[in-house]
Amino acid sequence: MDTKYIRNFSIVAHIDHGKSTLADRMLELTGTITAREAKEQLLDDMDIERERGITIKASAVTMHYEYEGHTYMLNLIDTPGHVDFHYEVSRALAACEGALLVVDASQGVEAQTVANAYLAVETGVEIMGVINKVDLPAAQPDVVAEEIEHVLGIRKNECFAISAKTGKGVRELLDAICELLPAPADRSDEPARALVFDSHSDPYRGVICYVRVFSGKLRVRQRMRLMHTGRSYLVTELGKFRPAMTPVEELGTGEVGYIVANIRDLADVHVGDTVTDDANPAQDPLKSYQPPMQMVFSDFYPGDNTEYSKLRAAFDKLALNDASFSFVPQNSPALGFGFRCGFLGLLHMEIIQERLERENDIDIVQTAPTVSYEVVMSDGQVRRIGSPSELPDRTHIEELREPFVRLEIITSTESIGGIMKLAEARRCKLLKTDYLNPTRVMMEYRAPLAEIVYDFYDQIKGISRGYATMDYELTDFEATNLVKIDILVNGQPVDALSIIVHRDNAEQRGRKLILKLRKAIPRHQFEIPLQVAIGGKIIARETVKAYRKDVTAKLYGGDVTRKMKVLKRQKEGKRRMKSIGSVQIPQKAFMSILDTSD
């Protein structure tokens, strides 16, 4: 197809502003799906996406649309809205020339709307403003258009007012996409180059690569080369998403589709790699993606019914489908062999855990998530650590740096006091305040990531009665007065329970922590001492009492020395059991570390 009739665009927005519903209406209006096939959030094909009502993976689909006597090919990529899946959005935008920035007419501009708009500007795509949900009784399209102009710089008279649910204004939006969004550059006479923007593993066909062709063309039965590894494969099938996989004979410049080439080794495919013709290869690969920076780390260990090798195979499969997730082998004296995993955020971690359990039928034990830190050694070397257990001896550390983020909170003016009080308690520093309109304000903070990554969002939602939204972006690492808290269970330090905190809060946090652990660890046949140590000094202790069996119940009458003899024997037995007994630490004990409430 002539490239001037191709449009590649993405839909980006804050969570729940109607991206997937807009994609549904477009599929119906272009005749890509029939009324019988239609269902809500059609492109969200994972069970977990449909249950939670959120998009987790970016999905591609090809539509054909008649406009002014010409048939246009519209390649749409629907993207996630949550801050943890920011990387998916950046990958989708790299494969497009345009983006629809969708804003809810009743909610207005939210934190993630701003972040996605900046991301689209950095990528260099053309942005079209779309105000959705204008059919709601609480809709204020004019006020929202003013906000869009004030915050994002998109002119209010250039925004499209639509209702994705009823279909109002969606046909006019499709016309505007054909008319206003740029077509891909015509590079059909150059050697073939296609960007791998996603992939997944099929048990029968090997790795399936999702590609956007930037120059030349790809054909079935041609030999292709992956430029990252230099390996070549025979293309057995090419196709497009309509929205089911539909085979085609070739993919031309500007088109989006998939490649099946009997790639068996999962490690051969890298998201961001360039596919080229093996017989006439391109000189340079396409510009790849910035590697994602994992911000939250947690250890995953096989549970009672799972083998280590099965967990390893499941991780390999998941890492192919989700390039922003990483894992390295780990060994813990308390929990055995497992993996240290890196995630973009806590929701990302939850999704990976749920996908492991569902898709691979795996039982796991997971430690409390921590953020990464930078350690400046005495010799000037800088090391990145993802776990308190990796912290070197204090005598070798010059300084310890923690990650700081630029935090944006958008809230109603009546919640400002409560949010500022919470932010101050979490060591956040207010940088600026910007009023979007008389009732809504955007506050920008410099905040330590460790203080906001766990329950901060829940807290601000509670303070603002559900209206506040937040978005954060890593800026740098800064040296602060941090210490490591060690937890000793039965005299043994358990590295998986260690945490790094600010020195001012360390003692108070340690005391609260063992009170929670005392309730979380079940009673055993022997007494279990729990201790908190900071820098080798014990600062607090709690005891999990032993079960007491009434060994004197069978005794009746006689001298009291009979009773004393039996109790003494029980005491000796418990002491012997304590020296050989191992303490069972349940999953909820690891997670209780995160709970900062009293």
Would the pLDDT of 412 be above 50?
A: yes
Pinpoint the alpha helices (H) of 367-411. Answer: none
pLDDT at 591: 57
Q: Which range is least confidently modeled, 406-420, 531-545, 548-562?
A: 548-562
pLDDT surpasses 70 at 75: yes
Cα–Cα nearest to 528, from 513, 511, 541, 509: 541
Residue 482: what pLDDT?
83
Tokens of 322: 């989700």
Question: What is the reported pLDDT for 35?
Answer: 60
Q: What is the pLDDT of residue 550?
A: 67
Most confident of 21-35, 205-219, 318-332, 458-472: 205-219
Residue 156, number of CB atoms within 10 A of its CB? 16
Which pLDDT score, from 0 to 100, does residue 138 have? 86
> How high is the pLDDT of residue 516?
79
* Residues tagged in the binding site annotation: 16-21, 132-135
> What DSSP string runs through 505-525?
HHHHHHHHHHHHHHHHSPP-S
Q: Residue 318 to residues 266, 347, 509: CA-CA distances in angstroms?
A: 10, 16, 35
- Among 65, 12, 7, residue whose Cα is nearest residue 471: 12
Mean pLDDT of 135-144: 88
| pLDDT exceeds cutoff 70 at 131 | yes
Burial of 437 (0-12, 13-18, 19+ CB in 10 A): middle
Short-list 8, 48, 4, 75, CA closest to 348: 48
CB 250 within 8 A of CB 218: yes
* Structure tokens belonging to residue 16: 């729940």
Non-local (6+) Cβ contacts of 370 within 8 A are 296, 297, 298, 386, 387, 388, 450, 499, 500
pLDDT (0 to 100) of residue 463: 86
Q: Which residues are annotated as a binding site for GTP?
A: 16-21, 132-135
Judge whether residue 396 has pLDDT over 60. Answer: yes
Query: Which H, E and C letters describe 81-124, residue by residue?
Result: CCHHHHHHHHHHHHCCCEEEEEEECCCCCCHHHHHHHHHHHHHC
pLDDT at residue 174 tops 80 = yes
- Taking residues 91-102, report their average pLDDT: 85
Give the dihedral of Cα atoms 141, 72, 216, 213; nearest 10 deg: 40
Listed range (8-17, 305-314, 378-387, 558-567) with the worst mean pLDDT: 558-567
Q: What per-residue confidence (pLDDT) applies to 326? A: 80
More confident of the two residues 175 and 85? 175
Q: Give alpha helix (H) positions in 99-140.
A: 111-123
Comparing 47-56, 270-279, 356-365, 507-516, the range with the smallest average pLDDT is 47-56
Number of H helices, E strands in the chain: 14, 32
- The residue assigned the tokens 């002014």 is 68
Confidence of residue 446 (pLDDT cuts 50, 70, 90): very high
CA 218 to chain CA centroid, Å, is 33
The answer to whether the beta carbons of residues 160 and 175 sit under 8 Å apart is no
The C-alpha atoms of residue 374 and residue 361 are separated, in whole angstroms, by: 36
Map out the domains of the chain with their CATH numbers. 3-180 (3.40.50.300), 193-277 (2.40.30.10), 298-365 (3.30.70.870), 374-479 (3.30.70.240), 484-594 (3.30.70.2570)
Terminal-residue alpha carbon distance, the chain? 64
Residue by residue, DSSP assigns 478-510 as EE--EEEEEEEETTEE-GGG-EEEEHHHHHHHH
Tell me what the mean pLDDT of segment 400-429 comes to.
88
193 beta partners: 215, 276
The most confident of the ranges 31-35, 261-265, 560-564 is 261-265
Give the range among 264-278, 284-298, 357-371, 581-595 with minimum mean pLDDT. 581-595
- 3-state secondary structure (DSSP) of residue 432: strand
User: CA–CA distance from 376 to each of 395, 479, 506, 507 (Å)?
Assistant: 12, 9, 21, 24
Overall average pLDDT of the 328-332 stretch: 78
Q: What is the pLDDT of residue 50?
A: 47
Do residues 314 and 201 lie in contact, with contact meaning Cβ atoms separated by under 8 Å?
Answer: no
CA distance 394 to 238: 57
Model confidence pLDDT, tens digit, residues 344-393: 777 778 888 887 877 777 777 777 777 888 888 888 888 888 777 777 87
242, 27 contact by CB (below 8 A): no
How far is the C-alpha of 259 from the C-alpha of 194, rounded, in Å?
A: 10
pLDDT band of residue 578 (cuts 50, 70, 90) is low
Is the separation of the CB atoms in 113 and 100 below 8 Å?
A: no
pLDDT of residue 44: 47
Confidence of residue 321 (pLDDT cuts 50, 70, 90): low
Residue type, 513: L
Chain CA centroid to CA 465, Å? 25
CB 85 within 8 A of CB 348: yes
The three-state secondary structure class of 231 is coil
Strand stretches in 144-215, DSSP E: 160-161, 193-202, 206-215
Closest to 77 in 3D by CA, of 270, 255, 226: 255
The model's pTM is 0.70
Which tens digits make up the pLDDT trace of 520-545? 777 777 777 888 888 778 887 888 77
Write the pLDDT tens digit of every residue in 270-285: 777 888 988 888 888 8
C-alpha–C-alpha distance, residues 360 and 300, integer Å: 15
219 versus 513: which is more confidently predicted? 219
Residues in the chain: 598
Q: Locate 395 and state its tokens.
A: 């005598």
Please check whether residue 19 is in contact with residue 110, taking contact to mean a CB–CB distance below 8 angstroms: no
Distances (CA, A) of 16 to 22, 156, 243: 11, 22, 22
pLDDT tens digits, 177-200 = 999 888 888 888 888 899 888 787
